[in-house]
A = this chain, B = another copy of it.
Amino acid sequence: MHIAILTFEGYNELDSIIALGVLNRIKGDDWQVTIATPTPKVTSMNGVVIEQMTTLEEACDADAVIVGSGIATREVVEDPAIMGVLRRLDPSRQLVAVQCSGALVLARLGLLADVPACTDLTTKPWVVAAGVDVLDQPFFARDNVATAGGCLASPYLAAWMITRLVGAEAAEDALQYVAPVGEKREYIDRAWRNVSPYLPAPAPALI
């Protein structure tokens, strides 16, 4: 199971790294979470240089993909080399989730055509201009496409992804670990309030 977090030059650290931290609470040889970049290194909007763990090409083959956010997403969606690769993203065979301005990438790929989306308040006008209905809430998902708005909505997105790939109990354990001491139940309950409405209904019991 490979989850790739697409991370571009000028990336927002919170929008790539929080999901990575929560997703890595799942342990096992068959669980790999990577930072996927277009170049061997990328520098964040605040000067944090991180090294590539996977290429964008490899990321397109992942079981799940998160498109991170940053100050240069509007340049990313105009970059034919990057967008040419990302055209291989396909929610019919993988989970595709985006954080904040990552919604612009999905909009440009035509993957938000009939799906409302969450994004951050700075990106909102650009996503609206791309013809997408933007919601005033932290998380939304339909089928295999999820969007989150506001950096600290990342744990919701990670919880949705773990639930879809492993199960609700594993997601709850991951949230339990990262939540503040003394506030763990409150954090988990709030995450479920945001995520549960967008999970597939359990299969009905056979009578």
Contacts and interface: CB of A to CB of B under 8 A. Distances in A.
Nearest to A41: B51
Say what secondary structure dominates the interface of chain A: mixed
A46 B18 CA distance: 12
Contacts of A118: 181
A37 to B, nearest CB: 11
A91 to B, nearest CB: 22
A181 B121 contact: yes
A160 B181 CA distance: 17
A20 B13 contact: yes
Contacts of A180: 138-139, 148-150, 152-153, 156, 194
A51 B49 contact: yes
A152 B137 contact: no
A194 B187 CA distance: 14
A194 B46 CA distance: 27
A24 B53 contact: no
B182 A136 contact: yes
Give this chain's copy count.
Answer: 2
A17 interface: yes
A149 B152 CA distance: 17
B138 A182 contact: yes
Nearest to A22: B14
Given A14-B17, A48-B53, A53-B48, A181 B149 contact: yes
A12 interface: yes
Contacts of A17: 13-14, 17-18, 48
Contacts of A102: none
A166 interface: no
A50 interface: yes
Contacts of A51: 41, 48-50
Interface string A76-91: 0000000000000000
6 contacts: A34-B47, A35-B48, A50-B50, A118-B181, A149-B181, A150-B182
Task: Pick the 3 closest A-B CB pairs, nearest first.
Answer: A138-B180, A149-B181, A153-B180
